[in-house]
Amino acid sequence: MAATPYSFTGAALASVGKPGDVDTVARNPLGMRVQGFDALGNSGEYIYLAGVASTIIGSVVTYDEAGATLLLAANAVGPIAVALGLTVASTFGWYAIAGTFPTDVVANCADNAKLGRETTDGKVGDGFASGDAITGAVSRAATTAAAVVNCQFLYPSVNDSSA
């Protein structure tokens, strides 16, 4: 697997690891946020969270104040993040919350489309059901097949209300 292009920036950071790392023990406080660069080399922001089963790079999750994650599910409520590593159950890692990042998208998603949970937990697309829209998330590439493509996020969240 090729090295990820992400990196952290700013004043002396007290964080451990880098985006894409998967830890078997928490090496940072859960919920810790750091600034860095996204997949396009622009400014991005990351949060350190606990993993959940069936997570792949690009999985979309909700997370709580304790740093626990769940794959984005129908009618979910809460803040959203994108997995940057295979942070499965009993592991920890950095998740994206602001910037442009590879994201698990279902087939037939348009470029520049509003995103929401579609068909399968942890996946997003532009054909989401009412109540599953994500505020602060836009696709940045069209796809005709399920794929991991760049999507842009700005502190995304879901609230189980109509779009």
pLDDT 10s digits, 28-63: 999 999 999 888 888 899 999 999 999 999 999 999
DSSP state letter for 2? P
Q: Are 72 and 118 in contact (CB under 8 A)?
A: no
Residue 45, domain member (yes or no) = yes
C-alpha distances in Å from residue 92, one per residue of 53, 71, 138 = 12, 14, 26
**Owning domain of residue 65:** 23-157
Residue type, 107: A
Helix then strand then coil, % of the chain, to nearest 5: 0, 45, 55
Residue 8 belongs to some domain of the structure: no
Residue 2 domain-assigned (yes or no): no
Total domains in the fold of the chain: 1
In a domain, 153, yes or no: yes
Residue 85 belongs to a domain: yes
In a domain, 163, yes or no: no
Judge whether 92 lies within some domain. Answer: yes
143, pLDDT greater than 60: yes
Provide, rounded to the nearest whole percent, the portion of the chain with pLDDT above 70. 90
pTM across the whole model: 0.89
For residue range 4-17, list pLDDT tens digits in order: 566 666 544 567 88
58-109 per-position pLDDT tens digit: 999 999 999 999 999 999 999 999 999 999 999 999 999 999 999 999 999 9
**Is position 76 within any domain?**
yes
Integer Rg of the chain from CA: 14
CB within 8 Å of 155: residues ≥ 6 apart: 45, 79, 97, 98, 136
Provide the pLDDT for residue 1. Answer: 46
